[in-house]
Every structure is written in structure tokens, then in C-alpha cells.
């Protein structure tokens, strides 16, 4: 992210309205390798190819804010690897983290990982340290400490169905489980900022939040997310949940979130009402059916419809409802940016 883009992001969070509206996209390994013409496993294994793919994106689309920007990651295996999960890799597909908690009793065996030494985390940080100078020479800075959220990590370690059932059947054990994961996430975010002092934002991704009812959200998600978003004194606190986002929307300000990316099934105007206009919204055209599989004309129509639906254009960054999915063509991203103009 360039300094100009960062300043524009901060101004948007403060309520300033730009014409045209800013565009921002979450970009990572589901989209970048295929778009850049390399295999997914090469994107993870080769720092040079990782850097080249990210540089190609920011140079080809200079009008877009890419979030978090130069994301150093190993797909969904990043954080679970620190707990000791087996990671399965494919040539042209996303990796998979196998669950290691077979029963609730296995939770007693888990220890809080050390982000300095455990799993893939040291490689994530070292990649950024090694290439920070080249990133900055290209006019960009590393701005975000990034982690999957506590419920997301819990489901990779335990299984989604098993975790959601245990919230009700074993609430005390789940509280201890989530406390352990949350303390780890806090350590992980702080370590990233310690290593990269240009970091001024937190980015947390947790779709499992959208699987909860309000009662379970208040007890099982809210206190842990609040602890995470309060762990660093930074001006940007970005949350991604592109499952059902209605359950968390009215609590985002309480949690400390000021930038929210959510499901395309919820309109910008609906989210503005639920958040009370206190949270900047990143969205909201369909990522797969329009941005990936639609024509450039479909994309332009979707962008214009999103803009025209807004009575108040403050606290809005145009995007899709989620991260950029696989196989989004260059022409469609150009159409998106052109429609804003």
C-alpha cells in the first residue's frame, strides 16, 4: 500500500468522501498465483515468485487498494501449523490443515504456540523482513499484522461441526480453548509489529462468526475478538466475515472494528443501518458470480448499482463481498475501476 493509499484509507475511516469512491480488494493465494501465471505451490515456496506476483498486481491496478497488501501467508495452514496440525499441499489448489483435536479431552494436550519459533509463522515474518526493502523501493509499505480469528483457528484444529456442537455441550472447555487461541493471536500480532515497525493496522479473518446465533456470538466470539482488536494501538482495525454478517454487525464498534468486509448477500445500505454509520464498509458486489464469472459489463452494472443504492457515500470502500476469488480476469477488475470513474 502506498502512502497516498494509506492516507486515503485513514481519511475514509474518518468519514471523508472521495470522488470517485475508493476501491479496495482483499487479495491472496486463491487469486494471485493463477492470475500471475504460476502454480499455487510455487507461490508459497518461492519468495521471488510471491514478490513478483504482488508487484505485478499493484503495478497493473495502481488505482486499487490491495488489502492487506503483500500478504505473506500459507493459506489456511498459517496459524494451525503453529499448533502442530498436518498441512497437505497441492500443486494448484489451496493447502488443507488437518484437525488434530479428535475429542474434547485432547484439548488438554494443546499448548500456546510461540510465533517466533513454531510452525510456518517464522517463515511468514522472515519473508516480509527479507523483501521489505524491495517493497518499499516500489513505493509500498507493509501496513497490517494479519491473523485468522479464534473461531476460525478452532474449527481447523477441531472440525467445524465438532466445535459448534461443543459450544453447547462443553462450554467451559470451549472457553479455555478459545482463551488459549486468543492469547496466541495476540502474541502473533504483536510479534509481527515488533518485526515490521511500519505496521499500523490489524486484519482478522473469521467466517465462523457468521455461523452463530446472537446469544452464542456474545459469549463465544465477542469477548475474544474485543481482546484481539484492543491488543495493538493502531488506527485501522479490519475484520473480514463473508459468511452471515448480521449477527456481528451491531457489535463491531464495541469490539473495536472500524473496517468491515462482509457477505455480498447483505447490502451496503443494510450494513450502514446495522453499524450505525460508525464502521467503514468494504463491499459489496458478488465475488464469484459477478467479479469472477460475469462479463465486464456485468461488473460495471454491479458497481453502479452498489453506488446508486447509497444515500450516504461516507465510510464506504467499493469492493466485492469477500476476497478476490480464483479466476477473476484482468478485464473485470479494470471494468470495476472504470465504473467508479
104-119 pLDDT, tens digit per residue, is 999 999 999 999 999 9
pLDDT of residue 303: 96
The per-residue DSSP string of 64-106 comes to EEEESSS---BTBTHHHHHTT--EE--SSS--EEPP---SGGG
Domain containing 307 — which CATH number? Answer: 3.20.20.210
pLDDT of residue 282: 97
Mean pLDDT of the chain: 96
Residue 82 has pLDDT above 90, yes or no: yes
Distance CA 76, CA 78 (A): 6
Residue span of the structural domain in which 105 resides? 3-340
pLDDT of residue 296: 98
Count of domains for the chain: 1
Residue 76 has pLDDT above 80, yes or no: yes
Q: Please report, for the chain, how many H helices and E strands are present, in that order.
A: 16, 10
Judging by DSSP bridges, how do beta strands 96-97 and 144-148 pair with one another? Answer: unpaired
Using alpha carbons only, give the angle 97, 98, 100 rounded to the nearest 5 degrees: 120
- The pLDDT of 262-289, averaged and rounded, is 94
Give exposure, 6-29, as e/b (b: 16+ Cβ within 10 Å). Answer: bebbeebbeeeeeeebbbbbbbbb
Q: Are the beta carbons of 292 and 35 closer than 8 angstroms?
A: no
Cell of 258: 472500524
> What end-to-end distance do the CA atoms of the chain give, in Å?
21
The tens digit of pLDDT for each residue in 224-236 reads 999 999 999 999 9
The tens digit of pLDDT for each residue in 130-185 reads 999 999 999 999 999 999 999 999 999 999 999 999 999 999 999 999 999 999 99
- The pLDDT of 294-320, averaged and rounded, is 95
pLDDT of residue 2: 97
- The pLDDT of 47-68, averaged and rounded, is 98
Judging by DSSP bridges, how do beta strands 201-205 and 236-241 pair with one another? Answer: parallel
Three-class secondary structure of residue 76 per DSSP: strand
pLDDT of residue 64: 97
pLDDT of residue 244: 81
pLDDT of residue 191: 98
The tens digit of pLDDT for each residue in 58-75 reads 999 999 999 999 999 999
* Phi/psi of residue 26, nearest 5 degrees: -80, 120
Work out the number of other CB atoms within 10 angstroms of the CB of residue 91.
8
Confidence of residue 245 (pLDDT cuts 50, 70, 90): confident
pTM over 0.85: yes
Going by the DSSP 8-state scheme, the letter that residue 275 receives in this structure is H
Work out the number of other CB atoms within 10 angstroms of the CB of residue 290.
21
pLDDT of residue 227: 98
Diameter of the chain measured on Cα atoms:
57
pLDDT of residue 132: 98
Nearest to 238 by CA among 272, 279, 209: 279
Distance CA 69, CA 173 (A): 36
Distance CA 225, CA 248 (A): 11
Distance CA 255, CA 230 (A): 8
Amino acid at each position: 500500500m502506498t502512502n497516498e493509499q494509506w492516507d486515503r484509507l485513514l481519511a475514509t475511516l474518518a468519514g471523508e468522501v472521495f470522488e470517485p469512491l475508493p476501491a479496495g480488494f482483499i487479495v491472496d493465494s486463491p487469486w494471485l498465483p493463477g492470475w500471475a501465471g504460476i502454480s499455487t505451490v510455487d507461490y508459497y515456496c518461492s519468495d521471488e515468485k510471491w514478490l513478483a506476483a504482488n508487484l505485478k498486481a499493484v503495478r497493473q491496478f495502481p488505482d486499487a487498494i490491495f488489502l492487506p497488501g503483500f500478504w505473506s501467508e500459507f493459506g489456511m495452514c498459517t496459524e494451525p501449523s503453529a499448533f502442530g496440525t498436518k498441512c497437505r499441499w497441492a500443486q494448484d489448489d489451496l493447502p488443507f490443515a488437518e484437525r488434530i483435536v479428535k475429542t474434547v479431552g485432547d484439548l488438554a494436550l494443546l499448548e500456546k504456540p510461540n510465533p517466533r519459533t513454531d510452525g510456518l509463522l517464522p517463515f511468514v515474518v522472515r519473508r516480509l523482513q527479507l523483501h521489505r526493502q524491495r517493497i518499499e523501493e516500489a513505493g509500498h509499505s507493509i501496513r497490517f499484522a494479519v491473523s485468522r480469528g479464534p473461531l476460525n483457528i478452532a474449527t481447523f484444529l477441531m472440525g467445524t461441526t465438532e466445535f459448534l456442537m461443543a459450544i453447547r455441550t462443553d462450554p467451559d472447555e470451549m472457553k479455555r480453548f478459545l482463551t488459549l487461541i486468543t492469547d496466541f493471536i495476540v502474541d502473533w500480532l504483536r510479534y509481527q509489529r515488533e518485526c515490521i515497525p511500519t505496521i499500523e493496522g490489524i486484519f482478522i479473518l473469521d467466517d465462523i462468526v457468521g455461523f452463530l446465533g446472537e446469544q452464542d456470538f456474545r459469549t463465544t466470539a465477542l469477548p475474544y475478538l474485543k481482546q484481539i482488536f484492543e491488543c495493538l494501538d493502531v488506527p485501522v482495525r479490519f475484520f473480514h466475515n463473508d459468511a452471515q454478517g448480521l449477527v456481528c454487525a451491531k457489535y463491531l464498534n464495541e469490539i473495536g472494528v472500524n473496517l468491515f468486509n462482509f457477505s455480498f448477500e447483505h447490502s451496503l445500505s443494510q450494513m450502514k443501518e446495522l453499524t450505525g454509520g460508525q464502521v467503514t464498509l468494504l463491499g459489496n458486489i458478488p465475488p464469484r458470480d459477478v467479479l469472477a464469472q460475469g462479463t465486464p459489463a456485468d461488473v460495471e452494472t454491479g458497481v453502479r448499482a452498489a453506488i446508486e443504492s447509497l444515500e450516504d457515500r461516507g465510510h464506504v470502500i467499493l469492493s466485492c463481498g469477500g476476497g478476490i476469488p480464483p479466476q477473476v480476469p484482468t478485464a473485470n477488475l479494470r471494468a470495476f475501476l472504470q465504473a467508479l470513474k
